[in-house]
Amino acid sequence: MTPFAWLLRALMRRPLLVVCLLCAGPSAHCAAPARPNVLIITMDDMSCDSVGVYGSKLKDTTPHMDRLATQALRFNHAFVQVGNCMPSRNVMFSGRYPHNNRVEGFYMIKDPGYPVIADLMKAAGWFTGIRGKVAHSTPYSPYPAWDAILDTLPDGSAAHIKNVASYHTSTAHGIALAKKAGKPFCLNINISDPHKPFWNEDGRPEVNKPSRVFTAAEVPVPGFLPDDPQVREELALYYSSVRRGDDCLGEVLRALRESGEDERTVIFFLSDHGMPLPFAKTQLYFHSTRTPWMVRWPGVTKPGAVDDTHLISGVDLLPTLLDVVGIAHPPGMDGRSFAPVLRGEAQAGRDYVVTEYNENSGGHRHPMRALMTRDYVYLFNPWSNGTRAMATATKGTVSYRRMQALAKTDAHVAARLKLFDHRVPEELYRNTDDSDALHNLIASPAHRAARDRLTAMLDAWMVRTGDGMLDVFRHRDDPKAREAYMKKAEAEAAARNSAKGKKAGKKKAGSAVPDL
């Protein structure tokens, strides 16, 4: 069923719009507004621990995010599904894992057969608008369910993706258009920073300066990277870009306050995945997919509250949002609403999440699956055969090139570089004392019970979600089975990315979308 057929059926049924006004206990604050506005704000390529309230070791990286945390419910164990942009965002806005929404890489799916957030909100009477990452947030683009593309400013000029003031203009414009239409708004504001290019990356003067610039001497170096002067220089540009992204967030929130809609607006805030450096972006490690997720639901969430119990993930965003605004769920979603948690209730079954990676923007196929609990992360990499090298955008960074240089004389860096390039079929790490994933415990007898428990959980998830990697996962100890799977996967990717393949499969997959 196409999204439009589903919408027609939904409109004919006139789904009931109900917002639950029940709060926990007699101390509940004012009731949530019926038909609230929705503001979804994402950061691009920002690691969770770059945020002050999430334990940033660098002071003053994110004053606006920290202030938002005092008004919202903050989740300590939140993850996105994928370590790269377009697949990650399509999970959030479809409520389906990549192997089910079919957006596994950076290419368009012209016949998705399911509705996404813009379809659902528009059909239910919300004004829909998006700023940034437009082509990356839906199965194909241009997508007809957006009422407004806010990349164009009211004066007709194009909004610069790194310009702080433009985020105020875009947000205010979107809210004004919704008011003119007489509708509540659903705006998706996607802030470009700290996605590359970083601030002042090429060393030339730049007008879009952050409110604070950090130096190489003061920035922390994550444990998964070598502490080297050149790496520090790149990290200083990254953290300065985080600060500029925080500046943009401040402008978005200022526009919301000035609109008079602040107390009638539900805010979802998160990042699409980790920093664009080796061992973070395009991977499934702890720092690849952990996200700083905050939800502010006026009248429902408690300001400054912290959830340190439940594990939530990107696939849960859409079903949760639909429950918040009272829209019926479409069939086929994989995600599960955590709206009860927002109301202060406990929710069983939130002790793990599954993440997946399939393909990069160049069509390079390196499928991986990971199961994350509070204590461990288990990873399965069927592409790893000792010679196949992963192709990823983070190989173009200063940090990666510096690792290559250091590896010539430093055995530890050489081992890390080998792992980054070639990986191993299975990995197991303890998040509690090794969140940087430095010590693979897959062969450790002391952790065999944990390994067996996580692999059994992943197997069950693959069965339940119809993951095509189930068979190769069950034969993960057989190199021939892994190679047979990979040859088939690589051949399919090559056909899709060739000119002939694009023409032959035009109805199923459109042109490639770059990772901007």
Single out the residue of 335, 338, 371 nearest to residue 354, CA to CA.
Answer: 371
**For residue 455, what are its two tokens?**
């692999």
Confidence of residue 88 (pLDDT cuts 50, 70, 90): very high
Determine the CATH number of domain 3-11+34-345.
Answer: 3.40.720.10
Q: What is the rounded average pLDDT of the residues 294-319?
A: 98
Q: Are the beta carbons of 170 and 249 closer than 8 angstroms? A: no
Distances (CA, A) of 152 to 189, 194, 249, 258, 370: 13, 21, 18, 21, 39
> For residues 348-383, b (16+ Cβ closer than 10 Å) or e, as one string?
eebebbbbbbbbbbebbbbbbbbbbbeebbbbbbbb
pTM across the whole model: 0.92
pLDDT higher than 90, residue 500: no
Cα separation, 507 vs 355, whole angstroms: 28
**For residue 452, what are its two tokens?**
């067996």
**Rounded (5°) CA angle 365-114-291:** 55
Q: Provide DSSP, 157-219.
A: PBPPTT-HHHHHHHHHHHHHHHHHHTS-EEEEEE--TTSSSPTTTTSS--SS--SS---TTTS
Q: Provide DSSP, 4-28.
A: HHHHHHHHHH----------SSTT-
Can you give the pLDDT at residue 26? 32
**Rounded (5°) CA angle 282-236-171:** 70
Break the chain into its structural domains and give their ranges: 3-11+34-345, 355-504
**For residue 232, what are its two tokens?**
């520090």
The helix or strand, by DSSP H or E, that contains position 342, with its residue range, turns out to be helix 339-342
Can you give the pLDDT at residue 32? 67
- Strand, coil or helix: 79: strand
Cα separation, 220 vs 232, whole angstroms: 8
Q: Alpha-carbon Rg of the chain, whole angstroms?
A: 22
Q: What is the rounded average pLDDT of the residues 495-516?
A: 61
Single out the residue of 285, 104, 255 nearest to residue 191, CA to CA.
Answer: 255
* pLDDT tens readout for residues 230-254: 999 999 999 999 999 999 999 999 9
Can you give the pLDDT at residue 205? 74
pLDDT higher than 70, residue 422: yes
* pLDDT tens readout for residues 160-219: 999 999 999 999 999 999 999 999 999 999 999 999 999 999 887 788 999 999 999 999
Q: Are the beta carbons of 43 and 276 closer than 8 angstroms? A: no
> For residues 428-437, b (16+ Cβ closer than 10 Å) or e, as one string?
bbbbeebbbb
Single out the residue of 125, 124, 123 nearest to residue 145, CA to CA.
Answer: 123
